[in-house]
Amino acid sequence: MMLLGKRPSMKRSKEEIILLLLCGLSIPSILPFGVIRLIQGNWWLGAVDLAIVTGMLCVIVYVLRTRRVRVAGIVVTIFYSIGMLTALSLRGSTIVYWAYPTMIAAFFILRAKEALAINSLSLLCMVWLLYKVMPLFDLACVIVTLTLINLFSTIFSHRTNLQHRELNQQASLDFLTGAGNRRAFDKRLSQLCADDVNQFGACLLLLDLDHFKKINDEFGHSVGDDVLIRVADLIRSRIRATDGLYRYGGEEFVVVTLGNQLEASAKFAEELRSLIENTPIFKGCLVTTSVGVAELRDKDTPNAWFERADAALYEAKNSGRNCVKLAKTSHTDS
C-alpha cells in the first residue's frame, strides 16, 4: 500500500478560463464598432470602444502571466460598467441594450454579491443618465428587466454554488461509511506535510479489521457493509473535531490526529481497538482490529509517513492481530 505523489497541475482554473474567454470574446464584439465609429467621425464613442478593447487586452496579458483572477475580475467588471455608462452619456438611450450583456457578464466573473453590488450601482447611474432623455414608461421597462436579470442571475449563481459545494463534498466522502475517501486522505496528508505542524504533533492511526474476508464469506457482503458502517460510526464518536477519519480502502480506516505526540496517539489507538473489540457490532461475530501508529517527522513526505504507519500495521498483524504497534522512531531502529 502506497500513496502516489502527484505533480502540481499547471492547468488553468475555470475562473481563469472564463475570464479569458469573456475578455477574448469582447474584443471582436466591440472592436468593429469602434473602428466604424472612428471612420464616421464619432471620435468620443469610438475612443471608448477602443479603450475597452485595450483594457481587455491588458487583462488577458496580466492573467496569462500572473494567473491572478480575483483583482482582474473586479477591474474588468468595473471597466465594462464604466464603458457602458460613458457610452450611454454620449449616445443616450439608443445603446441601452449594451447594459444587458454587461450586467450578465459580471455574474460569470465575480461572486454573486460583488456582481450584484456593482450592477446595482451601475443601474442607479443609468437611471440618473436616462431620466430626462428617455420616456418614463420605456425607462421603467429597462429598470424592471435589468432588475429581474440581476435577481435571476443572483439566484442562479447561488444555486450553482450550492450544487458545486455538494458535489465537492460528495467527491471527498466514502459513499458507504461517510468517512473521508482516498482522495480526501491524500489531500490531507499533502497539506500536513507541507505545513509546519510538527511543533503541535500529528499522527496517523492505520486500522485494519481482522479477518474481514471471513465475515463477508460467512455472513454475506451486506453484513460486511453494516460492520464497516458501524465501525466508522464508533471511531467517529471518539475522534475530535480537529481529527480526521478516512476509509483508505476495503476494511482499512485511517485516523489523522492533530495535537498529539506519539505516546498520546498510541493510547488513543488502544482505546479505539478496545472499543471495537468490546462493542457487539454483529451478533455471533467478534470484530477486532489491528492498528499501526506513525508520527509525522520533520521533512516527511506523505509516502514516507504512510509507509511507517503501514509497516507498524504489518507488525501488528504478524504479532497475532488485535493489537497496536508503533512505527520505529528512526531509520536505524531495529
Instruction: List active site positions.
Output: 251
- Closest-CA residue to 202 (of 190, 215, 212): 190
- Closest-CA residue to 76 (of 91, 55, 97, 49): 55
Cα 200 vs. chain centroid, distance in angstroms?
A: 26
Say which DSSP state 200 is in. T
Buried b (16+ CB within 10 A) or exposed e, 30-58: beebbeebeeeebeebbebbbbbbebbee
Half-sphere CA count of 333, side-chain side, radius 13 A: 7
Show the CA angle centred on residue 162, arms to residues 158 and 164, nearest 5°: 115
Q: Give the count of beta carbons closer than 10 Å to the beta carbon of residue 158.
A: 12
Residue type at 7? R
Cα 258 vs. chain centroid, distance in angstroms?
A: 22
- Closest-CA residue to 254 (of 306, 308, 328, 201): 306
The C-alpha cell 428617455 sits at: 134
Residue type at 212? F
Phi, psi at 255, each rounded to 5°? -110, 130
